[in-house]
Amino acid sequence: MKFSIRSTPVQCVRVAISSGASLAVAMVLSGVAVHAQIHIPVTLDLPAPSFTDFGETLHMEGSRFITGRHRIRVYDVGAVGPPTLTGEFGVPPDDIYSWGFTVAINGDLAVVADPGDDDEGIGGGAFVYERDCGTGIWSFAQNMEELSNQFVYGRAAVFHGDQVLVSEPGIGPGHVHVYNRVGVSWVKSTVQPVIIPHNGWTNGNNGSQFGHAMAVSGDTLIVTQPFNGLNGANVYEWNNALQQWVFDVELGFNGVGDNVGTLGGTEIDFDGNIVVFASPYEPHSTGVGGAGAAYIFEHDGTQWTGPVRIEAPDPAPGANFAYGVAVNAATGRIAIGSPHWKVDDFTPRIGAGYIFHKNLAGNWLMEERLEPVNIAPGRQFGQVVQMNEDVAIFGTRALGYSIHTLARNNAFAASSSPSRCNGDGGDQLGCVDCPCGNNAAPGTRGGCLNAPGESAKLTAERSLSVSNDSLQIKLEGAGVGAFAVLTSGSTVPVTSGCGPNSGRSVTTFTDGLRCVGGGMRRHGGARTGLNGKLINPWSHLASNFGYVAGQMRIFQAIYRDGPATTCGTNLNSSNALEIVFTP
């Protein structure tokens, strides 16, 4: 079994189909900060096409992404600044209803599927485009068409080197068409024209929707089959000697209750050794209907393990958490879209995004919750999601036709800036417990439990650059109307016996842990709102306090806790952030 972690493809050179003969599993380096620089989030407010569904489809490979529907655009993501528009495909004149239903990109190749292409009775098309290496211009190359009367050819499409796979889930159990690049043309494979589900055509699984979603990592293909009662998928391995895909194993899961009718596996993403399945219609574990969930499988080098179920911490009826899913194995993070989440009945279907990370203990934890920049009813932020090591992109369908790009580590600021003095009993190291038995759950990135039973979490967003001076430090989970003071120091107090990797010290005057020492400074007070989050974050720290590039400071918030605290001091502390300023 051979996987690959997404990386920026070499432009104008496509990776050929590999041999698949060796086992090369790309494992996740969990909990390790891989980037230190944070950039300001970018919102692409694109010119409104004649249809209100721009941003409904999205695919990213390396630093290039393609989005549509009806007006397809290709963007390149640079190290800084907004993405650059590099191509645009006009809609074919014959059928504009479903063109762009699915899009996929691989370097200088793109495919745009149209399940409604009905020329001469044909039930779907897959349009291939190619970018000229000299001019950089994208042009139409070929339309692969299949006879069908069910208008489902093109439900999903993926590239595998010089091969494109197009699914047709509405014929019997469904199948996947295989096309190979031969010279300048794309032709149906003579060895394996179609891939069919492992459980066959005659086992009562008609309508199982095999091919509803697909994803490839290296030489491993996963095809979902959400209507077969298993809520899962078939896994195939590319056999170079046979020049065909060979079945390996089935992956399946049961959700809350019996999960009947919840359509697990409607969407999927696969990178490295991690695959995440969408199950957006199933109930929350608390019973909230249609809240949604996602299921994670990982390959340990020998076999698939899982699934691990994750769900929204703020479930809402019909929010459809995991309607869009994305994973990046290099950073050990998953992005989730919940497009029908709403604040209240006056602002329905605003949408929300969530970033989860895998910590050193192997647990998947929510790291950040995101909302659209411009909140408006029907925005459906997060209906499609893609990500790489540097960015997480959330598509919206209506009211602005925007693709929301969270530039490098904006959503991952707490990880790129190491969290210190977590109130979970030593950050999995067993070093220091909270003062009065008020430890947070293992793996928590926050302080000791407070009177409301929460762990106050300090996070950093935007740029660490002193010249940019846009760094913001936020606090949440401190309770309603809590007054907090941000402090910082140049060192971390070390408690004897804890070892060099801990640097944690229990204070005698708060209900939390003290993490600031050496040249301590105060950076002003702020108050939390009704949601327990800071109303105005601490900002302009570099300019106001004279910090310079290369300087390291440990930031921690001390806040007033409720009178019913365990320790009775009425003060508590958040976790701390180790910030290293950049030029």
Which tens digits make up the pLDDT trace of 197-211? 877 543 444 567 788
| Nearest CA-CA partner of 118 in 67, 158, 75, 152 | 152
Q: How many CB atoms lie within 10 A of CB 214?
A: 27
Is it true that the peptide bond before 369 is cis, omega within 30 degrees of 0?
no
Closest among 213, 178, 227 to 57, alpha carbons compared: 213
pLDDT of residue 122: 52
Percent of the chain with pLDDT over 70: 69
pLDDT tens, residue by residue, 383-419: 888 888 777 888 776 543 344 444 333 333 333 567 7
Indicate the pairing of strand 57-61 with strand 42-45. unpaired
Q: pLDDT digits over 164-197, tens only? A: 999 988 766 788 999 999 988 999 999 999 998 8
**Is residue 99's pLDDT more than 90?**
no
Kindly report whether the peptide bond that precedes residue 377 is cis, defined as omega within 30 degrees of 0: no
Predicted local distance difference test score (pLDDT) of residue 32: 21
Question: What tens digit of pLDDT does each residue of 18-75 get?
Answer: 332 222 222 222 222 222 223 334 444 444 444 445 567 889 888 888 887 777 888 8
At 14 the pLDDT is: 43
Segment 318-349, tens digit of pLDDT = 999 999 999 988 778 899 999 888 766 666 77
Instruction: Give the Å distances, CA to CA, from 483 to 126, 458, 559.
Output: 58, 14, 6
Model pLDDT, residue 456: 92
Residue 191 confidence (pLDDT): 94
pLDDT-derived band at 374 (thresholds 50, 70, 90) equals: low
Q: What integer best gives the mean pLDDT of the chain? A: 75
Fold designation for 42-416: Methylamine Dehydrogenase; Chain H (2.130.10)
Q: How far apart are CA 437 and CA 449, in angstroms?
A: 9
pLDDT-derived band at 221, boundaries 50, 70, 90: very high
pLDDT at position 200, please? 54
* Residue range(s) in the chain whose domain bears CATH number 2.130.10.130: 42-416
Give the percent of the chain with pLDDT over 90. 21
Three-state helix/strand/coil letters over 323-386 = CEEEEECCCCEEEEEECCCCCCCCCCCCEEEEEEEECCCCCEEEEEEECCCCCCCCCCECCEEE
Higher pLDDT, 152 or 547: 547
Work out the average pLDDT over 269-274.
92
* pLDDT for 558: 93
- What gap in Å lies between CA 85 and CA 66, rounded to an integer? 10
Q: What is the DSSP annotation of 443-494? A: T--S-SB-TTS-B-EEEEES--BTTT---EEEEESS-TT-EEEEEEESB---
Task: Quickly state the pLDDT bin for 93 (edges 50, 70, 90).
Answer: low
Least confident of 51-60, 259-268, 486-495: 259-268
Per residue in 113-165, pLDDT tens?
A: 887 655 544 567 888 999 988 888 898 888 887 655 555 788 899 999 889 99
Over residues 552-579, mean pLDDT? 84
Amino acid 327: pLDDT: 93
Convert the pLDDT of each residue in 409-462 to its tens digit: 333 333 356 777 888 875 434 457 788 888 888 778 888 899 888 999 998 876
Given pLDDT bands bounded at 50, 70 and 90, which one contains residue 309? very high
For residue 408, what pLDDT is reported?
39
Bridge partners of 337? 324, 353
Task: Please give the single-letter amino acid code of residue 448.
Answer: C
Is 247 a residue whose pLDDT tops 70? yes
Between residues 547 and 93, the one the model is more confident about = 547
Q: Is the pTM of this model over 0.75?
A: no
Of the listed ranges 34-43, 212-221, 272-281, 448-457, the least confidently predicted one is: 34-43
